[in-house]
Amino acid sequence: EAQVTQNPRYLITVTGKKLTVTCSQNMNHEYMSWYRQDPGLGLRQIYYSMNVEVTDKGDVPEGYKVSRKEKRNFPLILESPSPNQTSLYFCASSLWGGSYEQYFGPGTRLTVT
């Protein structure tokens, strides 16, 4: 089954404790992206990647890191999480960029206390 998986689905952590949210797709897609969703603000793009070792900032990259060492994986790293990063996070992939159908992961609800 074609899918995008994220782990963990729920995470409660404390300020400053480094964490990684994993994202994996099994569709051989070139494009992968991370979004955060906040009430009243909608979805906002954090980072995206067009290919292995190629990443670009979205609209809200501050406080986040990403890496794309393999085509199927695109982890999101919060090196020093803060309460304002409490949010619902989605990973997505597509064949090649924003002009193709987007496939979303199930979401990760992160709470930083």
Partner 1 sequence: KNEVEQSPQNLTAQEGEFITINCSYSVGISALHWLQQHPGGGIVSLFMLSSGKKKHGRLIATINIQEKHSSLHITASHPRDSAVYICAVGQGGSEKLVFGKGTKLTVNP
Binding site residues, partner 1, CB under 8 A: 31, 33, 35, 40-45, 48, 50, 56, 58-59, 88, 90, 92, 97-104, 106-107, 109
**CA quadruple 24, 74, 63, 15: dihedral positive or negative?**
positive
Q: Which is nearer to partner 1, 21 or 92 (CB)?
A: 92
Query: At its nearest, how many Å lie between partner 1 and the CB of residue 80?
Result: 26
Closer residue to partner 1 in complex, CB, 26/80: 26
Residue 62 Cβ, how far from partner 1 at the closest point, in Å? Answer: 16
Q: Which of 39, 48, 4, 1 is nearest to 22 (CA)?
A: 4
Closer residue to partner 1, CB minimum distance, 15 or 100:
100
Max Cα–Cα distance, the chain, nearest Å: 38
Min dist CB 39 to partner 1, Å, is 10
91 in Cβ contact with 4 (< 8 Å): yes
Q: Measuring CA to CA, which residue among 93, 97, 110 is closest to residue 9?
A: 110
